[in-house]
Amino acid sequence: MSTLDWEGCRNQIYECVRCGHRFKGEELIMRDRIVCPKCGFHVIKKIRPPVVKRRKAI
Ligand SMILES: [Zn+2]
């Protein structure tokens, strides 16, 4: 078993720093490695999924 928390990564959004391609963690799971599915580059950053924040009414 991998030491990576694949389940936690599954719904995470990632972005390739080279080509800017965005993809879900499950695409990494399918390949079992941390590379961009489009260009194969290995530097990937996490994108936070949009979180709905409540604003205080002023
Ligand atoms: Zn890429």
DSSP letter for each residue of 26-55: HHHHHHTS-S-TTT----EEEEPPP--PPP
Tell me what the pLDDT averaged over the chain comes to.
Answer: 85
Rounded to an integer, what distance in angstroms lies between the CA atom of residue 57 and that of residue 52? 15
Give the pLDDT of residue 50: 66
**What is the pLDDT, as a whole number, of residue 4?**
59
**Dist. CA 8–CA 46, nearest whole Å:** 12
What residues are neighbours of ligand 1 (ion), with CB under 5 Å?
A: 16, 18-19, 21, 36, 38-39, 41
Distance from Cα 39 to the centre of ligand 1, integer Å: 4
| pLDDT score, position 40 | 95
pLDDT in tens, 19-42: 999 999 999 988 888 899 999 999
Tell me how far CA of residue 28 lies from CA of 25, 39, 40, 43, 51, in angstroms: 5, 13, 11, 12, 22
CB atoms within 10 A of CB 32: 9
Q: How high is the pLDDT of residue 1?
A: 47
Please give the model's pTM, rounded to 2 decimal places: 0.68
